[in-house]
Each structure stands twice: as structure tokens, then as C-alpha cells.
Amino acid sequence: WQSNASGSFADINGATSSPLATDTLTTTTQYQAVVTLGNCSAISSIATVNVNAIPSPGTVTAGDTTLCNNKPTTLTLSNSESGAQITWQIKTTGGFSDLNANNNTYNTGNLTETTSYRAYVKKAGCSDTSNIVTIKVNPSYVGGTTSAVKDTVCAGDSTILTLSGSSGSPIQWRS
């Protein structure tokens, strides 16, 4: 076997049988076989293997990476390959799955659990994925019930307030 990636054919060391598994390709390359029998030889037709570049997947950023429960954020893909097809992908557990979203920006909608996103970028049959952005969702908090030990006092007196049934901390009192 012979290959040509730079203007002239050269023998491929150790390549003496069919089929031929190529090395990793980074540029368009031509191949041909030289078949010999005794002192005679013949050259096969040329097979050209075109190599397309892997598209630049770009970088995903999020408006917010930590949210309160049931709040949205917007994801933005920047510096991806011009003309490439974009498919947003999502993961909460397990592997990533495709979303029906193909623009440079994606609104997550209201999130109720920590969720990861990335962009899958494809062009000319080649693809790559962007960085992964994880949006942390804090649990819902309950404000609780405030009650006064004395709900009626005389001017100049004070009372004690208690909070029960709340979740989250720290507590900040407001009057």
C-alpha cells in the first residue's frame, strides 16, 4: 500500500495485505495498492479519503449557576463553529439527552433540581461537545409562622417573637 497526503505517493511500512486500516487521519489522503507477481507489478485505482475538521464546539455560559427552586436561567453558546448545527443537551441523572433547541441561547425554564447542560455541535459529518455547565438548584424554603408571646402590649413594653415551621437559615427579622 501507498499513501499520498503531501503531493507524492510513498510506501506505507508493513502494509502488505488487504484490507488496510489507516492510521488516524488529520488531512485528506489518497491511497493506492501496488500489486506484484514475480517481476511484474500493477497499481490499483486511487481512493481518496477526505478529512473534515472537527468543528469548534464553543463555550457555554449561564446567566446564573445557582438558583432558587422553580426559577429559570439562560444559557449562551459563544465562539462555536460558524455554520454548524447546534443541539442543546441536558442531564439530571445518567447520560445526556438532546433537547429540541438549536439556537445559540437556551432558556432553561423553571428548574426544580440540579441540572447540567452542554451544546452538541455538528458540521460536515463531524461533531464535538462544549464544556458542561451545571445549574445548582437550592431546595424550596418555607417561611414558617411567626407568633408573639404577647400580641398586645402597652407603649414602651416589648414582647418575644417565635418562628416555627420554617426551613432554611439564617433567619433575618424585619419589622
Note the pLDDT tens digit of each residue in 35-55: 999 999 999 999 999 999 999
Residue 141's pLDDT is: 76
Average of per-residue pLDDT across 79-86: 93
Its pTM stands at: 0.72
Average pLDDT taken over every residue of the chain: 93
pLDDT in the model for residue 170: 61
Which grid coordinates belong to 36? 506484484
Query: Residue 70 in contact with residue 111, Cβ under 8 Å?
Result: yes
Give the separation between CA 81 and CA 87, rounded to whole angstroms: 13
- Does position 167 have pLDDT exceeding 80, yes or no? no
- In tens, the pLDDT along 120-156 reads 999 999 999 999 999 999 987 778 888 889 889 899 9
